[in-house]
Amino acid sequence: MTTDTTQSERIQKALSRAGVGSRRQIEKWIAEQRITVNGVLAELGQRISTKDDVKLDGQQVKILSEQAGLRRVLMYNKPEGVVCSRHDPEGRPTVFDRLPPLKGERWIAIGRLDINTSGLLLFTTDGELANRLMHPSHQVEREYAVRVMGEVTQETTTQLFNGVELEDGFARFTDIVDSGGEGINHWFHVVIMEGRNREVRRLWESQGLQVSRLKRVRYGSVIMPSNLRLGRWESLDQQAVDKLADAVGLSPKPVTPLNPKQQEQGKRLQRKRLKPEGRPNNKKDTKPKAKHKTTHKR
């Protein structure tokens, strides 16, 4: 076991940063005795360094220094009917099915969207970047376009802005913008600072209202472009990735483009016909652009 703490870091952080999986996944794998360090079963919170022999399910994991390595980030337009799991026991399509393949790395989803929610989903190979962008302490904004069924009054939006108590704690919208429409086709743009399960839907439901469409249009500084079609992805450039990293206190790292083979394989996967189980896209009632005019904001 590594004892030089000046050159080591906790195993969950090191493996997450190496792109093996999220910290929560790694903790689960340690509990399941799937990870070894120098031939001995890993322990939760154990410190490791680049000199240690780390294996997951018997396969070597390359540990890089905190300063080393590259950073890749993709933005993906998730369709309804597609799940965010890496593998789905029910055989439903997953968001990972259409991403470009990597060698020696893996894509980590930055947050999740439920099966009935579409829109912007970010992926990265940098586990530490993913962890910080998802963690509530960094207060990263998530903006959604939402179609609400029912009468939305000024009192309703005030209550949602001030906050309500949900079953898993206090929650609120930090920004609410009326985006127009009438009757069952009334749209709002809302912003939350956390990624709790079905949080946007549950906030509206707390006021006796039903969400009929939900689409994420922004995550932090990344706004999904209107020309990014459902089921398609685009790589973020160095400037966009550095801006994301800076927002959560990380230093810049080089962003290397996908090589020609990866790009071709990725494009081939993108051309596969989408067969989601959810509602097909309807251009007439989607609101793909992030809003900036504020009805409520603190």
pLDDT digits (tens, 9 = 90+) for 47-81: 998 889 999 999 888 776 665 567 899 999 999 99
Residues 215 and 177 both lie in one domain: yes
The model's pTM: 0.76
| pLDDT for residue 190 | 97
Is residue 246 part of the annotated active site? The answer reads: no
Residues 226 and 84 both lie in one domain: yes
User: Which residue range(s) make up the domain with 96?
Assistant: 73-271
Catalytic residue among 57, 88, 97, 114: 114
Instruction: Name the 3-class secondary structure at 16.
Output: helix
Question: How far apart are alpha carbons 67 and 53 in whole angstroms?
Answer: 19
For residue 227, what is the domain's CATH number? 3.30.2350.10
Residues 57 and 77 both lie in one domain: no
Banded pLDDT at 275 (limits 50, 70, 90): low
Better-predicted residue by pLDDT, 253 or 173? 173
Q: Is residue 83 part of a domain?
A: yes
What radius of gyration, in Å, describes the C-alpha atoms of the chain?
A: 21
Mean pLDDT confidence for 166-188: 90
Banded pLDDT at 261 (limits 50, 70, 90): confident
Residues 187 and 143 both lie in one domain: yes
